[in-house]
Structure 1
Amino acid sequence: MAVTLSDEARQYIALFDEETDVAATDCIVDDEYDRVVFVVSPGTMGQAIGPGGKHVKRIEEKLGQDVEVVEGADTPEDFVANALAPAAVYNVTISEDDTTVAYAEVDHDDRGVAIGKDGRNIDLARRLAKRHFDVDEIELT
């Protein structure tokens, strides 16, 4: 699925690439929560974050915003699980009727982490899943 990027997001991706040597596949500038979220290709998360998180810290200093990194995936199930990290997600099932819904089985103790303060984490996961796999909704089970 093609992702449309704003000019600002493209500039941030260029900075991310320069700082990490990892090409981000998506970038969301979330002004509501003063954060920038990058999606990276599967298997590149460690390199993108850097030792001790040094790459992320450097980008945060340059942008003056919090930076989050989400690892992409080849399937919508894996992508939803990655988007809800660091919550422990045991299983994701996709149901396609009139709408496409991802049912994510999250550890009881991690439900708060998956939802986030004011719903910010689950909202981001929903937004990313829609952009990358046309998933209309994520429900926690």
Structure 2
Amino acid sequence: MKLKQKLDIRTIGYISTFEKITRTEYIDFYEHPSSLLFIIPQKDLKRAVGPQGKNVKKLTHLLNKKIKIIGLSDDPKKFLIDLIYPIKPLEITQENNILKAKFASRIEKARVIGREGKNLEFTNSFLKKHHNLEFKVI
């Protein structure tokens, strides 16, 4: 599954509102029916979230969707952890161009993979796009 950036008027509105409220620029954006994911430079993460999550709360209220903001980390392991948060892997190993993650329970594993592998495809598309790596659950 390859995510393509489709910019229609609604998407441009989401991005414009995000940049106006957070005073940061986005690197990547993904719209899900119930939520929005913004990837921004790691150094701007604190400013984007705002004091006590004020900006995220404001965006959630204005756009009527859950908001997730992730800092683009140079470390692919940190980026993966941020993508799959709140699920925490026991360990992450990197072999060649593949990141492998081990989880504590089958439930966590199932949540990371998602129904019909959709969450795994989603995570893989961002890792491939930003770090040229593939993600596997072991």
> Over the residues paired in the alignment, what is the CA RMSD in angstroms?
3.0
Is this contact kept in 1: 2:114–2:120, CA < 8 A? no
Q: How many residues align?
A: 133
> Which residue does 1:61 correspond to in 2?
61
Identity within the alignment, %: 18
In the alignment, residue 69 of structure 2 is paired with which amino acid? V
Q: Spell out, residue by residue over 1:102-133, the C-alpha distance to the aligned partner (whole angstroms, 9 max, x if none).
A: 11244559936962874665454223212222
User: TM-score when scaled to structure 1?
Assistant: 0.72
Write the letter of the residue equivalent to 2:100.
Y
Q: Residues 129, 14 of structure 1: CA spacing in aligned structure 2 closer, same or farther, 3 A cutoff?
A: same
Look up the match of 1:88: 88
Which has the higher mean CA deviation after the structures are superposed, 104-113 or 69-78?
A: 104-113
Q: Return 5+ residue gaps in structure 2 as ranges.
A: none
Change in 2 beyond 3 A, CA 1:11/1:130: farther
Deviates more, 1:62-71 or 1:6-15: 6-15
Aligned to 1:20: 22
**Aligned-residue offset at 1:39:** 0.6
Residue 140 of structure 1: how far off its partner (Å) = 3.2
C-alpha spacing 1:46/1:106, structure 2 compared with 1 (3 Å): farther
Q: 2:6 and 2:93 mapped to 1: Cα distance?
A: 31
What SS does structure 1 have at the residue aligned with 2:39?
strand
CA contact (8 A) 1:104 1:140 kept: yes
The equivalent of 2:41 in structure 1 is 41
1:128 is matched with 126
